[in-house]
Amino acid sequence: MKTEVSTDRKAAVELLRKGEIVALPTETVYGLAADALNAQAVAKIFEAKERPRFDPLIVHLPNQDWLERVADLSTQDRQLVLQLIGRFWPGPFTLVLPKKPIVPDIVTAGLETVAVRISAHPVFSEIIRAFDAPLAAPSANRFGRVSPTVARHVLAELDGRIPLIVDAGPTTHGIESTIVTIRDGKIDILRRGPVTREDLSKFGKIEIVVPGEKVSAPGQLPAHYAPKTPLRLIENAKSFVPAENAGLLAWNPLKIDKRFVAIRNLSEQQDLREAAANLFRYLRELDAIDDVDLIVAEQVPDRGLGAAIMDRLRRAAHRDEPDTPARNL
């Protein structure tokens, strides 16, 4: 199959209507979309990504009217859910709620819950409104790889497997949406993201669901977001002497330095938003340099958006066995 890269939004809608899969920009990362109510179309996402069927997908809605067509709002949680979506939708915020029967089992991997969000990206939102029904869309990477934040990276992942990539330049946030669920009136954060713990704490008691303890999102497995090159997380590169050819993913200001084959600075101004937006792109760039045998990443402040960045870096550094590339979804 030939993969087109274009800005043709009409073509995207037509393909989706025919039950095809299309890569689309969102404000977080590029997604691989299919008609969420068409099980056969959704199956193509799993095939193209080589994603295990036990891993459920996020359902993106055209507008809020769709919410109660795909999900149940319990009387108990209703007010909190409405407050949260009133504040964070459209945007990088995903809610896991009890599902309605209209959502095919393949989308939720047989779970009784469905993950839903409304994207704020103008191109995504134009396409989904024209399509006028929910779209299932995981990140547009193959299983075991870093999420794509530019069209070129989607092509590197899925060339020949999908008919179309809609190109709208780099994504704004650069990391995937925050995923939460409501339990006994409390907000459980299943995946950290652009909507931070601090943002959410105004709405209720927060709990971070520690991966491994209660893995309710398979994307929360400890080994996740890993490049092919081994990655090591360090405090500061200033006093670090790499034993092998290393590329540095820097947080602290550092000019050209002979200790490192290549350096990518997440944000010269040490701005966490900019750092998040650059994270996956720089990881990919360092990963693609042949001479780099090790990626060394400096830690960023573990608060606000920094906590979401650290979460990705910790998982990228995690390996089950020394020589096996860690897997992600």
One of 70, 300, 313, 329 touching Mg ion (CB under 5 A): 329
3-state secondary structure at position 270? coil
Is residue 26 part of the contact set for ligand TXA (CB under 6 A)?
yes
Of 177-216, binders to ligand TXA (CB under 6 A) are 177, 179, 190, 216
Q: Which residue has the tokens 């050209």?
A: 256
Tokens of 240: 């670090």
Q: Which does 247 bind (CB under 5 to 8 A by kind): Mg ion, ligand TXA, none?
A: none
Give the nearest distance from C-beta 265 to ligand TXA in angstroms: 24
Task: Name the residue nearer to Mg ion (CB basis): 53 or 238.
Answer: 53
Distance CA 129, CA 58 (A): 17
Q: What does residue 200 show for φ and ψ, rounded to 5 degrees?
A: -80, -25
Q: What does residue 206 show for φ and ψ, rounded to 5 degrees?
A: -110, 140
Q: Which does 111 bind (CB under 5 to 8 A by kind): Mg ion, ligand TXA, none?
A: ligand TXA
**Binding mask of the shown chain, residues 46 to 85, with x at each position contacting ligand TXA by CB under 6 A:** ---------xxxx---------------------------
Q: Are 223 and 319 in contact (CB under 8 A)?
A: yes
- AA identity, residue 22: V
One of 31, 62, 91, 148 touching ligand TXA (CB under 6 A): 31
Q: What does residue 219 show for φ and ψ, rounded to 5 degrees?
A: -65, -5
Q: Are 316 and 267 in contact (CB under 8 A)?
A: no
Choices 88-96, 135-143, 257-265, 273-281 (CB under 5 A): range interacting with Mg ion: 135-143
Based on the number of CB atoms within 10 Å of its own CB, is 160 exposed (0-12), middle (13-18) or buried (19 or more)?
exposed
Alpha helix stretches (DSSP H) within 95-229 = 105-108, 122-131, 151-158, 197-200
Is residue 137 part of the contact set for ligand TXA (CB under 6 A)?
yes
Task: Name the residue nearer to ligand TXA (CB basis): 52 or 253.
Answer: 52
Choices 110-118, 133-141, 202-210, 244-252 (CB under 5 A): range interacting with Mg ion: 133-141
Choices 134-142, 159-167, 179-187, 286-294 (CB under 5 A): range interacting with Mg ion: 134-142
- Could you give the C-alpha distances from 248 to 4, 11, 102, 254, in angstroms and in order? 34, 41, 48, 10
Is residue 139 part of the contact set for Mg ion (CB under 5 A)?
yes
3-state secondary structure at position 80? helix
- Could you give the C-alpha distances from 117 to 86, 100, 127, 324, in angstroms and in order? 12, 15, 15, 34
Task: Name the residue nearer to ligand TXA (CB basis): 28 or 265.
Answer: 28
One of 20, 77, 167, 176 touching ligand TXA (CB under 6 A): 176
Is residue 113 part of the contact set for ligand TXA (CB under 6 A)?
yes
Task: Name the residue nearer to Mg ion (CB basis): 175 or 262.
Answer: 175
Distance CA 60, CA 204 (A): 25
- Name the DSSP letter for residue 103: S
Choices 81-89, 136-144, 157-165, 202-210 (CB under 5 A): range interacting with Mg ion: 136-144
One of 182, 187, 313, 329 touching ligand TXA (CB under 6 A): 329
Binding site for ligand TXA (CB under 6 A): 26, 28-29, 31, 55-58, 92, 94, 96, 108, 111, 113-115, 137-139, 176-177, 179, 190, 216-219, 329
